[in-house]
Amino acid sequence: MSSSSALLAPWPKLVHRKNLHVLVVLDIDVMIHAAGDCVLMKPAESSKLPYVARVEKIEADARGQVKVRVRWYYRPEESIGGRRQFHGSKEVFLSDHYDVQSADTIEGKCVVHTFKSYTKLDAVGNEDYFCRFEYNSATGGFNPDRVAVYCKCEMPYNPDDLMVQCEGCADWFHPSCIEMAAEDAKKLEHFFCLSCAPQDDKKTLNHVASRISDMKVQLSVIDQEVFNPICFSVY
Nearest to 50 by CA among 88, 81, 78: 78
Domain 146-233, what fold?
A: Herpes Virus-1 (3.30.40)
Q: Which pTM was predicted?
A: 0.74
Where exactly are the structural domains of the chain? 6-143, 146-233
DSSP string, 76-127: GGGSSS---TT--TTB-EEEEEEEEEEGGGEEEEEEEEEHHHHHT-SS--TT
CATH class of 6-143: mainly beta
End-to-end alpha-carbon separation of the chain, Å? Answer: 37
d(CA 6, CA 24): 6
pLDDT at residue 32, as a whole number: 80
One digit per residue, the tens of pLDDT, for the chain of length 235 reads: 444 555 545 544 434 456 766 776 656 667 787 778 999 999 988 889 999 999 999 888 777 788 899 999 999 999 998 999 999 999 999 999 999 999 889 999 999 999 999 999 999 999 999 999 999 999 999 999 988 899 989 999 999 999 999 989 989 999 999 888 988 888 888 888 888 887 655 444 443 343 333 333 443 333 444 444 445 556 6
d(CA 15, CA 11): 11
DSSP H or E stretch at residue 230: strand 230-233
